[in-house]
Chains A and B, each alone.
Chain A
Amino acid sequence: MNIFKKTILTVLASFLIIGNVSAEKIKIGTEGAYPPWNSKDASGNLIGFEVELAQELCKIMKYECTIVEQDWDGMIPALVMRKFDAIMAGMSITDERKKTITFSQGYADEVASLAVMKGSSLEGMDTPEGINLSLGGSSVKKALKTLTDALAGKTVCTQTGTIHQNFLESGDVGSVNVRTYKTQDEVNLDLTSGRCDVALAAAVAFTDYADKSGKPVVLVGPTFSGGAFGNGVGVGIRQADDSAIGKRDAKILKDFNKAINKARKQGIISKLAIKHFGFDASM
């Protein structure tokens, strides 16, 4: 009898909720393993820059958002199969990904870098502080040549399906021995163990790891941007078609773009970026 009553009450209550709130309900997928972009705390809750930013954007859009976890290598397929409606997972906007999904405008950007363990022969490489692959020019060419020579015969580790892997396989730094991992954590572990001579990821992914683990991981060579490294990090959304779901996707994209504009103007993105990255990575 008691259960029966409870069921009726629940059903009634849910009618009330549906009746009162007309907010769009969406799910946002994130990896939860790429600090400081997104990660998990000790009790398994999702935290990080993008988790907080997602909450802020949802507030602006007046959306009811649930943030769900998804392994990086299944992120885009999961979005396409409608397991969630948007990706906020430190995913850079690249042409390759745009063949399958679409992106909002970028909300943040930061550079990639190589990292080694202190004492590596790769330390003290003679390259400019940062290179932008989109700009090209003789200094970029020279830096890439230096890198090609330095990385020859070395095992370079990176996460599967990332801009970093694309760059290493692009031939810009010759044919390097690339080893790919499911998560950045595993890249860090094998960099520490010495199985990797050098690793490539977002510079902050290494500095964050060095800070938290106390391991002597140091950045080497130039920082990278442009070219294979894409055009900043944006919200990944399904490509819209004429179906009802497609129209909803188009609306979600539009709302995200507006919300990012607003959050940028109000300084919300900068504030969160400084909090998590230690510098203003907003764009």
Chain B
Amino acid sequence: MDFDLMITSFPKLLGATVITLKLLSASLFFGLFLGLFFAILRLNKNIFINKFAYVYSYVFRGTPLLVQIFIIYFGLGQIEYLRSTFLWAVLKEPYWCAIIAFTLNTGAYTSEILRSAFQTIKPGIIEAGKSLGISNKIIFYKIQIPIAIRQSLPAYGNEIILMMKGTSLASTVTLMDLTGVAKYIISTTFKPIEVFIVAGGIYLFMTFIIHNVIKYLEKKYSFLQ
């Protein structure tokens, strides 16, 4: 065991963690809106809208994240027409390709989490709102959405942790995230165990933080139940 290497690689890996966190926060931010949007579509009574949202979540939950990121990065890059459009300015950058892939993926899972949360809301709560003369719109924004978010916290916490680990795939499209830099250090030192232990430790620490924040939020909003 080369402890010196573990110590010297730690600051480099910590620097790369910033990229990992940026990827994670950007995809969770966009993914949450996308997920909410598709969850609402799923609850729509129109069969076409409903099916459209269903197919989206089915496709992105049914294929590996690695395949999705490869299709978006290497696949779309091979389409000549696309390279002449304005889209190429975004797709040219590995950073944006990764964020698009992660957002679409986490959006699909989030939509399912939120949909099931919406469906667990007791009809009595909505009826109570109606009987007080509150409009449907306000019932939705002020009652259903907050309850759905509270209901989905445990499952969404899991999704955040899964996504955090998923960002390691960014290294497959040349990004120098935590895993990317770990692999880079290994490519010159040929010592995978030491470097991956440190990198794994950093991932574990991030999980620890996320886990505790979600636990705190669950407690804080437990009055909603």
Contact = CB atoms under 8 A, between A and B. Distances in A.
Which range contains the number of B residues in contact with the other chain? 10 to 19
Interface string A158-187: 001100010000000000000111100010
A189 B187 contact: no
Given A77-B186, A194-B92, A189 B174 contact: no
Nearest to B75: A189
A236 B6 CA distance: 26
A77 B83 contact: no
B77 A193 contact: yes
A80 interface: yes
Given A179-B174, A194-B83, A195-B92, A80 B190 contact: yes
A74 B186 CA distance: 9
B77 A189 contact: yes
The winner among B92, B174, B184 for most chain A CB atoms within 10 A is B174
Contacts of B92: 194-195
B78 interface: yes
> Chain A interface secondary structure, helix, strand, loop or mixed?
helix
A96 interface: yes
Which range contains the number of A residues in contact with the other chain? 20 to 34
Contacts of B172: 182
B63 interface: no
Given A73-B183, A77-B190, A96-B188, A180 B174 contact: yes
Interface of A: 73-74, 76-77, 80, 96-97, 100-101, 157, 160-161, 165, 179-182, 186, 189-190, 192-195
Interface of B: 74, 77-78, 83, 92, 94, 172, 174, 183-184, 186-188, 190-192
Given A96-B188, A193-B77, 5 more contacts: A73-B186, A157-B174, A160-B183, A186-B74, A195-B77
